[in-house]
Amino acid sequence: MSNPRPLRLSPPNLPADSLPSSADVLALRARDGEAGAFTALVEAMQPRAIRFAAQMTGAPRDEVDDIVQDAWIRTYRALPRYDAGRSFESWFFTILANCCRSLRARLRRWQLRTQALDDQMRDEALDPLIATTTRSDVARVYTALATLPTAQREAFLLHHVEGFGYEEIAVITGVGVSACKMRAKRAMDAVRTLLREDPTDA
């Protein structure tokens, strides 16, 4: 059995213009009715929103698009209640995570689609999991995530892929910081255990 290669996961290195530092300001302008401000927010955050929803639900791309669209619709309707003292990014991901949970409640199991994974790995905007592991390890990571309870998978994706701190995850998920840390740790332990297994020994 070969020694496992360390799993290295880090928040995505996004281009400076992919998520403007003025997201909160744009949200306030959108709330106040400025034309184009909300569109700018959608365009900036859409790649991350799609990635999170796809990894969280395992749904086909057209269904993922519907989930994200629903999240944006809910966000737009809730804009009048947007609090300037809160990060728009975490506020939006709270809404998106709720949409994903609603879908997961209707699904009986995770649907891992190999072809979709292959298409994603050919995409220029590789996510952190793909960028830091081999092709075979990527498939095994997603397989491991598929077996996790929804709460653990959610914490793993929010922290290790989307780069949220535990305090932010607590706000997004509505549970305590300690619980978020435990969920993420258990998810990481499960992924590491799978990667330590040599499939050739089976």
| Cβ-based neighbours of 38, under 8 Å, separated by 6 or more | 26, 30, 76, 79
Judged against a pLDDT cut of 70, whether residue 86 lies above it is answered with yes
The structure's pTM equals 0.60
Domains of the chain, earliest start first:
14-109 (1.10.1740.10), 112-202 (1.10.10.10)
CA–CA separation, 68 and 74 (whole Å): 10
139-166, pLDDT tens digit by residue?
A: 677 777 888 888 988 998 898 888 899 9
**Residues 165 and 141: beta-carbon distance below 8 Å:** no
In this predicted structure, what is the pLDDT of residue 123?
Answer: 43
How would residue 183 be classed by pLDDT, with cut points 50, 70 and 90?
Answer: very high
User: In the predicted model, is pLDDT for residue 194 greater than 80?
Assistant: no
C-alpha–C-alpha distance, residues 129 and 160, integer Å: 9
The single residue listed with the structure tokens 């859409």 is 46
- Residue 45: name the closest of 93, 106, 102 by CA: 93
pLDDT at position 134: 54
C-alpha closest to that of 107 among 69, 152, 146: 146
Provide mean pLDDT across the span 153-182. Answer: 90
